[in-house]
Amino acid sequence: MQEPNYPQNESIRIDTLRSLNILDTPSEERFDRLTRLAKRLFAVPIALVSLIDVNRQWFKSCIGLEVKETARNISFCGHAILENDILMIPDATLDERFYDNPLVTDEPRIRFYAGVPLVVANGSKVGTLCLIDRQPRTLNDEEQELLRDLGHLAEQELAAIHLATIDELTQISNRRGFKALSTHALNLCKRLNRTASLFFFDLDFFKEINDRYGHAEGDRALIGFSKILQETFRESDVIGRLGGDEFVALLTNADQTDGQLVLKRLDQIRTDFNQREARGYDIQCSVGMVEFDPHRHQSIDDLLQDGDRLMYAQKQMKRKSGN
């Protein structure tokens, strides 16, 4: 087994990593969503955001493994941060650096590995976004570019670690976080020629809830609706609170038919929630659903504008009908 060497800027690299104040922190949706997406896109059992500390690799996000860290001297990622691009090992049993590595001979029995270094502002490579499979395989040129794109998004999250991208009240993405995640998701849909649908939600009678029950109860309604959305949509979908009582969700690889099924599921989950909570009022919402058209929607802002318009039209219809 060949242990990874240390980068020439190791002292600066470690200081930079420690300055992020990210080691041994709880899991965060911003990173977990990336590894879930990587796992699904590349059909691998394991995807990680791994940070290389002095004597260990610690996983900020870990999908498919039970452990949170392993020793640095046996890490594949320790080798990956020495590269300027993706380190890809098609079959670790045939690679003289890894064939007798305990991570190969024992669990998780790594065969395939691909890791892209995560570079921060001063040029330090603090870790990797990596894919692991228990079967030999490789990545073609397009898949490697996709992995680089996910790595760049992970780098953006590291760079913005001190910026607020999570809504403090509901703990889902705020406007900034939603736009960053959904922009990347739309770019993937464009590249892979996949469909996507955006849902723009606005709570009905929210002002009345605040006026009658108080703002604390209004906050409970917002939290409750965020939970309804999280239960309705898939983990790989992007949901967020734009502000006030406006929420939004981006469902990838889904057309209008899929969207209608999602709305039916949301109605049932919302009904069950209202019956279970029995707060004296029902959480109700208006929604605008728009299918992504790459010729008409040049950005996530274009989708949001269409979704907002359709949501408002539905709300107006409800008011006219007295519902």
Domain boundaries, given as residue ranges, for the chain:
10-159, 175-321
CATH code, residues 10-159: 3.30.450.40
Cα 69 off chain centre by = 21
Q: Residue for token digits 């965060």?
A: 28
d(CA 217, CA 301): 31
Q: Which segments of 196-299 does DSSP mark as H helices, in order?
A: 206-213, 215-232, 256-277
* CB distance 166 to 29 below 8 Å: yes
Evaluate whether the domain defined by 175-321 bears CATH number 2.30.30.90. Answer: no
Low-confidence ranges of the chain (pLDDT < 50): 162
Model pLDDT, residue 164: 55
Amino acid at 250: L
Report helix angle 215-232 to 206-213, nearest 10.
140
Phi–psi pair at 276, nearest 5 degrees: -70, -40
Model pLDDT, residue 162: 47
316 contact partners, CB below 8 Å, separation of at least 6: none
d(CA 72, CA 232): 40
* CB distance 39 to 146 below 8 Å: no
pTM of the model: 0.57
Residue 209's Cβ-count burial label (10 Å; 0-12, 13-18, 19+) is: buried
